[in-house]
Chains A and B, each alone.
Chain A
Amino acid sequence: MSLVHLANVCSHLQNASKARLGLTSIPSSKQLLSLSLALQSAGFIQTVARGGLTPPRLESLSTYVPEPVTQENISTRRLWLGLKYFDNEPVLRNMSMVSKPTKRIWMDVEGLGRIVRGREAGFVKGLTRPGECIFVTTDRGVLEARECVERKIGGMLLCRVI
């Protein structure tokens, strides 16, 4: 569960959004897959698809069945993310780490509640901008901080997305 890949993904998604790319790929791992699905359900990205070195065809994305992962092809697996733009602006503008590879931050519901209300908790700044999200990895998977508070579960703070 290294966070180094996640840090690279954060920077990469920011760069891809700034370059106005429609589709981009990130390394394939369970952690990154669940995070990208959380990003998709929060509306930050359009599509999440598992694929190889070449992206899956756009027109068959809904009916697409990914190739089974084997010992031979596991090193070439990538996650292909479709980025979103609205009103000539990227929907995902800023994505930064909260936990760092050298310093992980876990938080209970009380602290998450403070953050969601826009207050600071445990050296983590609150969600003060409209539409700002923090993604938290919990034993129920990667969830948004507000959903964590709703379900009363704590976890490790992954990244902050605007």
Chain B
Amino acid sequence: MSASRPVRCLLSGPSIPRIRPVVRCRNFHTSPNLCERKPRYPSIKASDMGLVAKEKKLQARENFKPYTAEEKAALSQRYTPDQIRAIEAGEEAIDPEDLDKKGIIRTGWGSLEYLDDFSQIKPVIDRAPGKFELQRAPVDPKARMMTEREILQSDFEFDEKVIAENPMPKDIDYTDEKTRATIRPNVADLFRGLDEAPMFMGSDGPISQKDQSLIAPGVPMDFESDISEGLGIKKTKAEEADIRDPEGNYDRLRKQTGLTLDEILDLNPKILVMHRVVNQTRLGKIQSMYCLAISGDGNGRLGLGQAKGQESVDTMLNARIQAIKNMKPIPRYERRTIYGEVEGKVSAAEVKLMSRPPGFGLRCQHLIFEMCRAAGIQDIAAKVPRSRNKMNTVKATYQALMSQRIPDEVARGRGKKLVDVRKVYYGGRV
């Protein structure tokens, strides 16, 4: 007998209640059991709501029309009858409804970051077709070294230009050394001619050496002046002295990377490792600070930056800047996880990263978590089996992320076709 059960209970009636209370296995969290949960809305079939068109096949046919007689005539000008037969067979083989369902914009490795219809030429964005095409191309494909005669002609033209710019006075005293020195072209002009007179012949005549180097095309010849001046970009007042960056810490970075201050500040680099290092010299110990920072745009780019210096504040800033400068794209599967399992090893620190299904989260230690978050990876598992040195762990993780093998490249190497089964199952909607 206990205090909770008085004697009355024992004496009156059966001790075991006839209707037992329903005891369910309760969870330790507050959300209701799955079996108890009721749907908020009654489930209605899409066909009842009239969302499913009965004549979907006809709709698809409207979207993907067969070739008209005119189009076929145009095709016959370009392709042989055999090729046209192949095209027609291909058109017939593909069900328009299937194309309507499956023909969607793909996301994945190698897909375009923007939408564009390459069959049309937009006058503002695209280069005009035809005669300007070759001229505007960054590198003239028909460029060649000038022949001797052409080089002579080019030098002659340069000298003539110099003479026209500096006309000779009519009566010159050739005996006087001072006046003789003023005669152009002189020795300096000769050397200037070597630099400036065209040496290459393009499809539209000589190519000026000032514009571009044919040995390293695409590299501007003029290294000293600011690039923004050459491109005709004027500095605004805000760029010259920003309140957020009054000391101009990011000026050089902005010039080197072409990022705006807004973009740089949005990247938000993070210091992961910071410690004191000592160099033992014969004069004594010289202390300095070591700093390791990561930076990522949360959309597949990640960079690692290291810096060492006396002042911790400067070192941190330098590490951040290095991290932004070193940002590189990281392959991501479905923009959320990595491709399969990868390993990285730096010194005794080994890192093993494993891809995981959607919604798994970042179940890994804090350093790898930070790196994945910065790179925009959402599902990953990781193991750091051996040394857990912070610096080496971060470096090994970066190495592992960079050493991923892309299935498309594997397939190309083997000459086989690899199919992403997830993509097929979900019709490319993942």
Using CB atoms and an 8 Å cutoff, list the residues of chain A in contact with chain B. 42-44, 84, 86-87, 89, 91, 128-132
Contacts and interface: CB of A to CB of B under 8 A. Distances in A.
Interface stretch (B15-23, B66-74, B198-206, B408-416): B408-416
Interface residues of B, number: 17
Given A86-B409, A87-B409, A131 B341 contact: no
Contacts, number: 39
A43 B410 CA distance: 10
Interface of B: 339-342, 354, 405-407, 409-416, 418
A132 B340 CA distance: 10
B407 A131 contact: yes
Contact of B339 (A42, A84, A91, A130): A130
Q: Is the interface of B mostly helix, strand, loop or mixed?
A: mixed
B419 to A, nearest CB: 12
Nearest to A132: B340
Nearest to B421: A117
A129 B340 contact: yes
A44 B414 contact: yes
B341 to A, nearest CB: 5
Given A128-B354, A129-B405, A130-B407, A91 B413 contact: yes
A91 B411 CA distance: 10
B413 A87 contact: yes
A43 B354 CA distance: 25
A43 B342 CA distance: 22
A42 B415 CA distance: 9
Contacts of B412: 86-87
B11 to A, nearest CB: 61
Contacts of B405: 129-131
A96 to B, nearest CB: 14
10 contacts: A42-B414, A43-B413, A43-B414, A86-B412, A86-B413, A91-B414, A128-B341, A130-B405, A130-B407, A130-B410
Nearest to A162: B405
Contact of A131 (B342, B354, B410, B415): B410
B406 A130 contact: yes
A92 to B, nearest CB: 9
A89 B406 CA distance: 13
